[in-house]
Amino acid sequence: MQNKKQFQNLLFHTISRAATAALAMAIVFALTVVLTQAAQAQTFKVIYAFTGGADGAWPYAGLTMDRVGNLYGTTQNGGKVGCGSGSGCGTVFKLSHKGSGWVFTPLYTFQAGSDGAVPTARVIFGPDGNLYGTTSVGGAGYGTVFKLQPSPVACKTALCPWTETVLYRFTGGSDGGSPQNGDLLFDQSGIIYGTTQLGGSYGLGVVFSLTPSKGAWTESVLYDFTGGNDGQHPFSGVISDNFGNLYGTASYGGSGGGGTVYELLRSGSGWQEKTLYSFPTQESGYAYGPVGGLIFDRSGNLYGTTVTNSFGEGPSGTVYELTPSNGNWTITHVAGLIEQRDGEGPVASLVMDAAGNLYGAYTPSALYEPGAVFKVPSDWYPIYLGGFSADNGDMPYGSVILDASGNIYGTASVGGLGQGYEGFGTVWEITP
């Protein structure tokens, strides 16, 4: 079980100390909802299993898909032998369609120097077609924002690494430190937005921007979390509305103590924070903290998830909807996920299909309990879609993605190759 323990220590060293929280809402809420089997059969398939070597180990983040269906992702360890603790500093990879199968290509291996190490977020495509992402450590010690671009000339070999450019190195001071699982966000002018879970004026995390100018990037802190009603430690990134306002979650704090949903509104040359919702805490409650990020629907409603450490009480995590009305936001729907002892709910953002169904991955913390991919339809009763086991891959922490045919793709952070929890993770596909 060494790999699994190392993985949890690396990724949940702060989450594991969080207090439990109760969702005290005046709405109908099913405390003992168990994920039901999908009416339509699903096929679960591992399309790549990591070996822990040069290909990487423990893919914590989800995947990104390009226009032709190729998949891109990160592993938080593996790669360079002897890097850091000996398990490697992480990789960026690509999976390409070839016939009915997939071809794995490593794009970059982190060296634990100024280039950064341990990427725990997805890579995304920027407006220039290059890949952008973050590392949680390395650089100046507290992580980096980086760009990867392919070779300007055609590759003559199967292995053709991309070139990394570090856009910014966090110091852990007033500029922020340790970006976690949140995606970066580009606006129409090419400015990048993101969050760090540490650093800032209060040491509780920041929302930052990176502005390009003449080949260089300038970092600005848009907001410092104070640990008051605004919350603290944002693990996820931010999203934007049509007016350029930013929305996100803070995993802890707020007036209720269980985390917040917040908005940053443009105000003159600066930004003003508004807390849209505070999750309450309860010593023996059934849910705590919005660790995952947010998504919008076409009507402007917000959707997100909470995690839990239920101690046998209630569901292990929730999916919720926040609806605006007269300047206020109200939670109008909540779906409780599968009930497990010591379970942890989703820690990544959801994805919505064209019909408005929500999809995500659920991760239990109890040993030998399988994770699940779930679907939340309009009736708000979750449907089980997964097929995880320790041998095929388990502990799916990242976001899932959908292709045009309705296939679902994601990562499992451990397992695979028939090695149980000692495996190094997988990339999987679920087909209708």
Query: What pLDDT shows up at residue 309?
Result: 46
Count the Cβ atoms, other than its own, within 10 Å of residue 178: 23
For residues 349 and 397, the answer to whether their CB atoms sit within 8 Å is no
Is the pLDDT confidence value at 196 over 50? yes
**Per-residue pLDDT at 191:** 98
Separation of alpha carbons 142 and 131, rounded Å: 21
Q: pLDDT at position 315, please?
A: 58
Sign for the CA dihedral angle at 223, 224, 229, 233 comes to positive
> Hey, what CATH class is 2-431 in?
mainly beta
Residue 30 has pLDDT above 50, yes or no: no
Give residue-wise pLDDT tens across range 218-260: 999 999 999 999 999 999 999 999 999 999 999 999 998 889 9
Between 390 and 200, where is the model more confident? 200
**Distance between CA atoms of 360 and 111, rounded to whole angstroms?**
32
Mean pLDDT (whole number) for 356-374? 81
b or e along 37-75 (b: 16 or more beta carbons within 10 Å of the residue's beta carbon)?
eeeeebebebebbbbbeebbbbbbbbbbbeeeebbbbbb
* pTM (2 d.p.): 0.89
Give tens-digit pLDDT for 292-304.
Answer: 999 999 999 999 9
Q: How far is 43 from 40, CA to CA, in rounded Å?
A: 10
Question: Distance between CA atoms of 211 and 196, rounded to whole angstroms?
Answer: 17
What SS3 state is found at 3? helix
The candidate with the shortest Cα–Cα distance to 363, out of 340, 395, 335, 336, is 395
Instruction: Write the burial class of residue 13 (CB in 10 Å: 0-12 exposed, 13-18 middle, 19+ buried).
Output: exposed
- Note whether 144 and 115 are within 8 A (CB): yes
pLDDT higher than threshold 50 for residue 35 = no
Mean pLDDT across the chain: 85
| CA distance readout (Å), 365 to 5, 16, 379 | 11, 10, 28
